[in-house]
Chain A
Amino acid sequence: MNFEHVAGKDKGKIRLFALSTCIWCKKTRELLSSMGVAFDYIYVDLLKGEERAEAVAEVKKYNPSLSFPTLVIGEKCIVGLKEKEIKEALG
Chain B
Amino acid sequence: MAQDFVEPTGEEVDKLCSRLDKDARQGGYNLNPDADFVKGLVKGLLINERRYGYRSCPCRLAFGDKSEDLDVICPCDYRDADVTEFGACYCALYVSKAALLGKQELSSIPERRLPLEEREKLRQKQKASAEALGFDIAKVALKLSVPVWRCTVCGYLCAREGPPEVCPICKVGKERFERFI
Contacts and interface: CB of A to CB of B under 8 A. Distances in A.
Interface string B89-124: 001100000000000000111110111100000000
Given A24-B91, A80-B109, A44 B3 contact: no
B59 A22 contact: yes
Nearest to B110: A80
A47 B107 contact: no
B7 to A, nearest CB: 11
Contacts, number: 66
A23 B109 contact: no
Given A68-B61, A81-B108, 5 more contacts: A20-B1, A20-B47, A21-B48, A43-B1, A47-B1
A34 interface: no
A67 interface: yes
A64 B81 CA distance: 22
A81 to B, nearest CB: 4
A22 B1 contact: no
A21 B1 contact: no
Interface string A64-91: 1111100000000001111000000000
Interface in B119-166: none
A14 interface: no
Interface residues of A, number: 26
A4 B58 contact: no
B61 A81 contact: no
A26 interface: yes
Given A65-B115, A66-B115, A81-B107, A24 B59 contact: yes
Contact of A19 (B43, B61, B110): B61
Contacts of B37: 23
B16 to A, nearest CB: 14
B1 A19 contact: no
28 contacts: A2-B1, A19-B58, A20-B47, A21-B43, A21-B44, A21-B47, A21-B48, A21-B58, A21-B59, A23-B37, A23-B44, A24-B59, A24-B91, A24-B92, A43-B1, A45-B61, A46-B1, A46-B3, A47-B1, A65-B115, A66-B115, A68-B59, A68-B60, A80-B108, A80-B109, A81-B107, A81-B108, A82-B108
